[in-house]
């Protein structure tokens, strides 16, 4: 028997996890793309979070994994992608790749390592913007950077 308190706690846990995952991704990718405003904030952040939340709800309603923003997007931004057109091209290529899935099983998972290393370089480039003299900023930043590789998750690194 699952009570209402259990359901509320589960929903709240998923909300926090998705929120921190999205915020870490959006801020990192926006910073790399040079899309932050003069105060270092993401413009239209409310719209970004609304779309991400709606996609997560739609994924859950369809009994699929939640659709969310991925930090791997930083690789595309690092190569020059700045608009939604890059997302459309990527989506089209994924649609074509659906028919090539049996062929893709031949490629080992280790083949993705160079892309992940490139994403790591792009993310670490943002470390120079951290104020290392202020401990209230430096300690959480350091712990986040240190924990992420061990948990294989930005969300776990932040949380």
Q: How wide is the angle at C-alpha 32 spanned by C-alphas 26 and 35, nearest 5°? A: 70
> Would you say how long the chain is, in residues?
159
- At 159 the pLDDT is 57
DSSP H or E run through 67:
none
- At 158 the pLDDT is 64
**Residue 134 reports pLDDT greater than 70:** yes
Closest CA to 129 of 120, 121, 139, 138: 138
> For the segment 77-100, what is each residue's pLDDT rounded down to a tens digit?
778 887 778 888 988 998 988 888
Higher confidence at residue 72 or residue 128? 128
Q: Report how far Cα 37 is from the mean position of its chain's Cα atoms.
A: 20
The percent of residues in the chain predicted with pLDDT above 70, rounded, is 92
Mean pLDDT value of segment 44-54: 88
- Greatest mean pLDDT among 62-66, 75-79, 88-92, 104-108 lies in 88-92
| pTM, two decimal places | 0.55
CA dihedral 90, 95, 101, 107 (to 10 degrees): -10
- CA distances (Å), origin 27, targets 34, 45, 71: 10, 9, 10
- At 132 the pLDDT is 93
Higher confidence at residue 65 or residue 147? 147
Structure-block tokens of residue 149: 């590789």
């Amino acid at each position: 028997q699952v009570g209402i308190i259990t359901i509320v706690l589960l929903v709240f846990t998923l909300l926090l996890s998705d929120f921190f995952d999205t915020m870490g991704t959006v801020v990192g990718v926006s910073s790399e793309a040079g899309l932050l405003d003069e105060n270092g904030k993401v413009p239209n952040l409310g719209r970004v979070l609304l779309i991400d939340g709606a996609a997560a709800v739609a994924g859950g309603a369809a009994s699929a994994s939640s659709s969310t923003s991925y930090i791997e997007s930083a690789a595309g931004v690092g190569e020059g992608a700045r608009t939604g057109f890059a997302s459309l091209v990527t989506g089209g290529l994924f649609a074509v790749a659906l028919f090539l899935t049996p062929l893709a099983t031949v490629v080992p998972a280790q083949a993705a390592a160079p892309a992940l290393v490139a994403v790591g370089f792009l993310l670490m480039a943002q470390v120079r913007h951290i104020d290392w003299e202020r401990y209230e900023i430096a300690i959480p930043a350091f712990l986040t950077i240190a924990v992420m590789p061990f948990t294989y998750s930005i969300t776990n690194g932040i949380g």
